[in-house]
Chains A and B, each alone.
Chain A
Amino acid sequence: MTRAARTTLTVLALLWLCLPLIPVLVWAGADRWSFPAVLPQQWGLRGWEDAVRAGLPGATLISLLLGAAVSAAATPLGVMVGRALGWRLLARPRLAVGVLLLPLALPPFALSMGLDVILIRLGIPALVAVFVLLVVMATPYTAYTCAVGFARTSPTLGEQARALGATPGQAHRRVVLPAIRNSILIAAMLAFLVGWSDYVVTLLIGGGRLVTAPVLLGSATSGSGNESAVAAIALATLVPPLLLVTAAGWWQRPRSSRVRTP
């Protein structure tokens, strides 16, 4: 492929990936942007002020806590399931894979509805039900990520540690887990994303009382007509996961892979 062709394709690819986010960026800094002007007539941060008034800081905090909680619960579960899968310890791995696919295949709104019905009957607090369902939905991601990490690590690593005097627990903590540290971090990040980004479960089960950043965004974007505030909330909902993912991606970047053949 010629240099020019590659450059053109790269530009097109970046355009495809970045274009949708551009209006949000502009709106977030626009006090007035009447149609059909291409750029705002008046720049400003009034949208952010409106967003803060609508409860953005609180919603962001709740989203952070929810994301962190889901991550804290789904990651250890993922490690345990991932180990059994990656080291082929299960008698029927296909069954396990099928189970893990359930929360991915079943529509979130169906699961939410069912859980909502159950929680009313059993008197479970809505927050707990939201948390539990999000953990269930995040675990397939964490389990798969950890499984890939375990598959790349030899099971004899832990045995080696034990031959040097470590108890099973020590072998696991000091040798095995550090070996798959990268996978665990990615799994934790994915679980956080699931908890942070969720809309349906939080809204349906939470009944609108659990106001996370996405829930706030949903109500703003479908009603207010205040595009600047909507854009501000959208950006606030976007930035933490974006930072997390790009940080992880940068840290994980493939090192120069030029093959040095002797």
Chain B
Amino acid sequence: MITTLEIGGWVIPTETLLTFDQQYRDLKGERFARTADGSGIVRTAWQGKVATQINGTGWVPSGFENITAGSSYLLKCAMPRSKGSATTTVTVPANRRTDAGHQPIGYALVGDSLVETPITNLAAINAKTTNDAALTAVAGALHYRVHYWPEITAVVIDSECRGDNGAEFVWRVNLEEI
């Protein structure tokens, strides 16, 4: 299965790269503080946004000259994230990819292994008429999870690309969800 990274329509097949990684960092307006008796207090103004850093190396330049720092793009992520549930119904974020090769995949945790299990309403999930993925029950499952590929509108914070005389290019791009 070929996964691709897309930034504003600029497609990068990750399998064509020598190395590739993508990090997710959850963003939130949240303060943790301690009262005078040591109790922890959490105040959350917002949450649910994500920042991501994508790194890669390859034989050709990144082509990120086509994207502009400070502008927002539709980012189709190449690395999946997962949501879990104790039941066979797993609610996945609406901001997810549904294109071929990046559709949500259901798993059951059986013992210490993940066993793939079909999402019975995958069509509806892909049509985004629902976010509740219904997984086929697996005997002995401890819980279920769905892997999905985020698709978010993000602003490019910065990017860089470096090449060497070995014709290897190293690049990095940082984005934050709008």
Q: Do A and B come from one complex?
A: no
